[in-house]
């Protein structure tokens, strides 16, 4: 018997909003506890991050590095099935130009993010 698919769009949008746009460390940690598996792994282009605390630290560092109005925004609905989901996004300062675009690909286990791949698009020339 097939199990019901999770709401991939809700889950990956919540990850952008409640984790990667959250500047409050405690609120971000609570969101990660709710959205991520116990021992998540995040694959960045040049780094592998393991564990909830490490994911939180990376998100906080990104927000600090890029300034107080920097935000990630979904550019469509997430799609997925059988435990794999993808969401396209863009990021940049509020009211400013888009600084980076990319796609998050996630392996979902029991309704939570177990693995997250951050895929960055090449800069437009």
In a domain, 40, yes or no: yes
What's the number of domains the chain is made of?
1
**Percentage with pLDDT > 70 across the chain:** 97
In a domain, 105, yes or no: yes
Q: What is the pLDDT of residues 65-94, one digit of tens each?
A: 999 999 999 999 999 999 999 999 999 998
In a domain, 101, yes or no: yes
In a domain, 3, yes or no: no
What is the model's pTM?
A: 0.93
- pLDDT of residue 101 exceeding 80, the answer is yes
Q: Which two tokens mark 9?
A: 């769009």
Range of the domain at 76: 8-120
pLDDT at 125: 64
Q: End-to-end CA distance of the chain, in Å?
A: 49
Is-contact 77 9, C-beta < 8 A? yes
SS (H, E, C) 62-99: HHHHHCCCEEEEECCCCEEECCEEEEEEEEEECCCCCC
In a domain, 62, yes or no: yes
Structural element, H or E, at residue 14: helix 8-14
In a domain, 109, yes or no: yes
The CATH number of the domain holding residue 98 is 3.10.450.50
In a domain, 125, yes or no: no
């Amino acid at each position: 018997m097939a199990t019901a698919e999770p709401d991939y769009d809700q889950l990956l949008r919540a990850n952008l909003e409640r984790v990667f746009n959250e500047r409050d460390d405690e609120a971000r940690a609570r969101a990660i506890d709710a959205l991520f598996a116990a021992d998540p792994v995040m694959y960045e282009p040049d780094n592998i991050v393991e564990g909830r605390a490490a994911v939180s630290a990376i998100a906080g560092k990104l927000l600090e590095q890029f300034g107080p109005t920097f935000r990630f925004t979904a550019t469509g609905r997430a799609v997925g099935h059988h435990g794999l989901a993808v969401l396209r996004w863009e990021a940049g300062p509020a009211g400013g130009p888009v600084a980076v675009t990319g796609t998050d690909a996630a392996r979902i286990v029991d309704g939570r993010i177990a693995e997250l791949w951050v895929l960055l698009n090449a800069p437009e020339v």
